[in-house]
Amino acid sequence: MATVKINSNNWKERRVNRGKAVSGLTHECGVFGAIGNKAWPNTSEIAQIICIGLEALQHRGQESTGLVTSEGNNDFHIHKGMGLVKHVFNNDCVGKLRGSLGIGHTRYSTSAKSEQVNCQPFVVHSMHGALAVAHNGELVNAASLRKQVLDRGVGLSTHSDSELITQALCLIPPEGEVNGPDWPARIRHLMQLAPLSYSLCIMLKDRIYAVRDTYGNRPLCLGKIVPSNPEQTNGYIEGEQEPEGWVVSSESCAFISATRYVREVLPGEILEMTKNGVRTVDVVPPPEGKPLAFCIFEYVYFARPNSVFEGQEVYTVRMHCGRQLALEHPVEADIVGSVPESGNAAAYGYSKESRIPLGELLAKNTYVGRTFIQPSNRLRQLNVALKFSPILTNVRGKRIILIDDSIVRGNTVGPIIRLLRRAGAKEVHIRVASPPLRYPCYMGINIPTREELIANKLKDTKEIAKKVGADSLEYLSVEGLVRAVKKEINSTNEVDGHCTACLTGDYPGGIPDELDW
C-alpha cells in the first residue's frame, strides 16, 4: 500500500480555503451544456434547459452557480451568483440569457475560496474571441501549471484551477497554428499539461467542446434535446426523430423534461458540439498506458441513484454493494434499515441477500439542509437529532442492522445509534457499504484531514464500534466494492478502471510532488 508523502505547504493552504462541512464527503461540481441544432437563433429555450439541468445537479455543489450563453457571437450573456440554482436564477434573468448555446455550473469549491469571483463558468476574451469554461475536478499539478502559465506572461485574476484551465486554453499549442485557432490542438495541449482531473464544458461563440481527462476520473455524458409536440401526452416526441439539439451533463439524472440520455463521453474524448451535430474530434489515451481511474465514490455516494455510469444505474451498484456486504459480514438480526438517503439501496441489497426483512428505521427531515459547521460535539449531535427521527414501530425491542454508504468523521452514525438505543433498540449493528476512508482525494473531493477521518484515528473496527456505540461495525472490503461495481458493467470503453485512492492510497498517476495532507 502506498504511503502519502508529506511535502510542501501548498496543499494545506489550499485545503484551508475549501468549503467546509460537518459530515460526509463534500461533493464535487456539476457541469451542464446545451446547443440547439440547425436554424439559429434557436427557439429551444437553451437557458431554461440548462437551468433545469443545473437544478438536477444541485447535489454536486451548492455554494454557487452560473450560466453563460451565446447567440453565435462573442458577446456572451453571463449570470452567476452565490447560492442555490433556484435562488440565483429567476424567470426574469433566465429570459435575458438569450442564446443558441450555453454552459452552466454548480460549484463546491476545492481550489480557491467559495466567493463570487471564483464562481463558474469562467469567461475570458482571447485573441480569437470569447471562451467560457465550466469545470468539475481539481488539477493535481495546479501549482506548477500556474507557474508555467504565469511564465508565459499571462495574468490570472483568481486562485481557481478552473480559471487556470481557461487561461491555459488560450496558449498557442507547441506545434503552432496555421489557419487561426486550432481549438482541438489547444485542448490536447491542455490535456498534456494537466493530466487530472476534469470534466469540462468549453464554450466558444458557436460551439461547445465536452472533454473528460484521459483517466476518465470525473463523469460526463451526452444527451439530446427531443422535439416538442404539445399534442403528445408528455409534450415531447419520442423515438428516432432528429434531435433539436444536444446536451452534455456531469450526470444523466439531469436529462429530464426535454432531454434524453445518449451515451457517456469517453475518457480522454474531445467531443465537438455545433449546430450541425456532434462529432468526436479525438480520444486521447492516458499517459504511458496507465489504467482508467473513474472515481469509485461516484457509485458509493456522490451521484444520484438514477444516474448511469459505464452502462449501469448507480442504484444497482449500491444494491450489489449491500449484497456483497451481507456475504462478507453477516449478523443475526430482526430488521435491516438504512441511514437515508445514500444508504437506501445498499440496505435493500443487504436485506435481499441475508433474507432479513427490510424496514424504515429513521424518518429524515427533508427540510433540514446541509449540516453547517458546529462548534461543539453537543451541537453536532443536535443537528443529527434534527435531521433523523427513529420510527418506533420498527426500532423498539429489535436487533437492528443499520446500513450506511460511508463513514467519514463518524459524526452521523454515533448520534444515530444513540437515538436508536433511546428509542428501545436491543442491538445496533453497523454495516458500511464501502471500505474505510483513509487517504485524501486530490481530484475534486473534499476529504477531511487525516486527524478528522475516523478510520485513520482508529485503525481497528472494534475500536470504531466502541467509539460510536455500536454492538458491531464492519466495512465492505475494497475487493468487494470493486466486484459490486464490475458485476453488471456494460461499458462502451474497451477497458474499465476505477480510482480507489482514498481507500487504498494508490493514486492514478502517482502521488504528485506538490501534495501535502
Ligand X SMILES: NC(=O)CC[C@H](N)C(=O)O
Q: Does 23 bind Mg ion (CB under 5 A)?
A: no
Pairing of strands 312-313, 308-309: antiparallel
Instruction: Judge whether 342 is annotated as a binding position.
Output: yes
Find out whether 362 and 389 touch, Cβ atoms under 8 Å: yes
135 beta partners: 200
Cα-flanking dihedrals φ and ψ of residue 69, to 5°?
Answer: -125, 160
What cell numbers appear for 51 in the block? Answer: 437551468
> Which positions from 9 through 28 interact with ligand PRP, judged by CB under 6 A?
23-24
Instruction: Judge whether 93 is annotated as a binding position.
Output: no
Instruction: Judge whether 144 is annotated as a binding position.
Output: no
- Distance in angstroms (rounded) separating the CA atoms of residues 337 and 351: 8
Number of residues that bind ligand PRP (CB under 6 A): 15
Q: Does 453 bind ligand SF4 (CB under 6 A)?
A: no
Find out whether 470 and 428 touch, Cβ atoms under 8 Å: yes
Nearer to Mg ion, 280 or 389 (CB): 389
For residue 46, give the 3-state DSSP assignment.
helix
Contacts for 4 with CB less than 8 Å, ≥ 6 apart: 439, 440, 505, 511, 515, 517
Nearer to ligand SF4, 52 or 454 (CB): 454
CA distances from 150 to 147, 155, 167, 383 (A): 5, 6, 10, 45
- Distance in angstroms (rounded) separating the CA atoms of residues 47 and 156: 28
Q: Does 501 bind ligand SF4 (CB under 6 A)?
A: yes
What cell numbers appear for 108 in the block? Answer: 463546491
Instruction: Judge whether 460 is annotated as a binding position.
Output: no
Q: Does 342 bind Mg ion (CB under 5 A)?
A: yes
Nearer to ligand X, 108 or 348 (CB): 108
Catalytic residue chosen out of the listed positions 29, 201, 253, 321: 29
> Which positions from 327 through 356 interact with ligand PRP, judged by CB under 6 A?
339, 341-342
461 binds, among ligand PRP, ligand X, Mg ion, none (CB under 5 to 8 A by kind): none
- Distance in angstroms (rounded) separating the CA atoms of residues 310 and 509: 21
487 backbone φψ class: left, alpha, beta (φ>0; ψ -120 to 50): alpha
One-letter amino acid at 19 equals G
Q: Does 411 bind Mg ion (CB under 5 A)?
A: no
Q: Does 217 bind ligand SF4 (CB under 6 A)?
A: yes
Radius of gyration of the chain (CA): 23
301 binds, among ligand SF4, ligand PRP, Mg ion, none (CB under 5 to 8 A by kind): ligand PRP
Find out whether 346 and 405 touch, Cβ atoms under 8 Å: yes
> Which positions from 92 through 111 interact with ligand X, judged by CB under 6 A?
107-111
Contacts for 151 with CB less than 8 Å, ≥ 6 apart: none
342 binds, among ligand SF4, ligand X, Mg ion, none (CB under 5 to 8 A by kind): Mg ion
Q: Does 63 bind ligand X (CB under 6 A)?
A: no
Nearer to ligand PRP, 313 or 405 (CB): 405
Nearer to ligand PRP, 223 or 436 (CB): 436
Buried b (16+ CB within 10 A) or exposed e, 314-340: bbbbbbbbbbbbbeebbbebbbbbbbb
Nearer to ligand SF4, 97 or 499 (CB): 499
Instruction: Judge whether 441 is annotated as a binding position.
Output: yes
> Which one of residues 56, 84, 88, 408 is an interface residue with ligand PRP (CB under 6 A)?
408
What track of x and - describes contact with ligand SF4 for positions 297 through 336 (by CB under 6 A)?
x---------------------------------------
- Alpha carbon dihedral 178, 180, 183, 188, in 10-degree steps, equals 30
Find out whether 67 and 201 touch, Cβ atoms under 8 Å: no
* CA-based nearest residue to 249, from 272, 273, 222: 222
- Taking CB under 6 A as the binding criterion, the range among 1-9, 134-142, 405-413, 433-441 that sits at the site for ligand X is 134-142
Q: Does 409 bind ligand PRP (CB under 6 A)?
A: yes
Does residue 119 have an active-site annotation? no
308 binds, among Mg ion, ligand PRP, ligand SF4, none (CB under 5 to 8 A by kind): none
Binding site for ligand X (CB under 6 A): 28-29, 107-112, 118, 120, 135-138, 160-162, 444
Which residues are at the interface with ligand SF4 (CB under 6 A)?
217, 295-297, 441, 443, 445, 499-502
**Active site (catalytic) residues:** 29
Which spans of this chain sit near Mg ion (rule: CB under 5 A)?
342
Q: Which residues bind ligand PRP (CB under 6 A)?
A: 23-24, 301, 339, 341-342, 404-412
